Amino acid sequence: MHKAARETTSFCAALRERLAGLDGMEAVVCPPYTSLDEAVGALAGSGIAVFAQNAHWAAEGAFTGEVSPPMLAELGVTGSLVAHSERRQLFAETDASAAQRIGGVLDAGLRVIACVGETETEREAGETDAVLRRQVEAIRDAVEADDRHRLALAYEPVWAIGTGRTASPGQAEEAHALIRSLLDVPILYGGSVKPENAEDLLSQPDVDGALVGGASLDVDSFASICETAAALSRS
């Protein structure tokens, strides 16, 4: 919940200039609903995609306060995050409701970044594998094979989000390898990614990209991570 419309416009204009001509990676921004229209306008033709932070599963109906996938599509938004760890923790998102949202977004012809990950309590209890299996299998069962090319997963170790802690490259790779064994789609790592650790994390064989949190709020910081990703793809 950062950057209202005016600040989003300035941010996107600066990011567009900074990433112009950068090949070998795809950048996506996910501003709040109230800034989506400005982001779409500022980034039109740039190759930088605009996703929402969440979407309801229904195309329309008595769901006051929600936003439907067709509404997002009409704005020019091309996808949405689903089941971010904050949605799971703070707003009671479940595996079942996440699966419904993913289905609704894909049915509207949009793309999805679906988030999975364990809490600190679950990791300390040795439940990481079981949690990831449960979450990924719920997503896998909700997505038709023909739609998987529009799906990416993001592994968010909840204990590393907003804490300054980061999974080690080995921990990230281990989790990503498990996820890929269950559902072979692009897998992003999200957990205190910043310019200083991006290369080590993105160099892992099963880490296909990053879901960037706080570091994405600053143009230079976010662009630096994008440049690292592009350099690694070329090498």
Task: Report, as residue numbers or ranges, the catalytic residues.
Answer: 84, 156
The predicted pLDDT at position 44 comes to: 98
167 confidence band (pLDDT: 50, 70, 90): confident
Please give the share of the chain, as a percent, with pLDDT higher than 70: 99
The predicted pLDDT at position 88 comes to: 95
Amino acid at 202: L
159: its two tokens: 């204990």
- Tens digits of residue pLDDT in 29-87: 999 999 999 999 999 999 999 999 999 999 999 999 999 999 999 999 999 999 999 99
- Tens digits of residue pLDDT in 196-232: 999 999 999 999 999 999 999 999 999 999 999 999 9
Sign of CA dihedral 29, 35, 36, 39: negative
The predicted pLDDT at position 8 comes to: 98
Res. 169: pLDDT tops 90: yes
The predicted pLDDT at position 162 comes to: 67
The predicted pLDDT at position 23 comes to: 94
Q: Which of 200, 198, 117, 129 is nearest to 160 (CA)?
A: 117
Domains and CATH numbers, the chain: 5-234 (3.20.20.70)
The predicted pLDDT at position 166 comes to: 76
Calculate the average pLDDT of the chain. 96
The dihedral formed by the CA atoms of 83, 94, 86 and 14, expressed in degrees to the nearest 10? 10
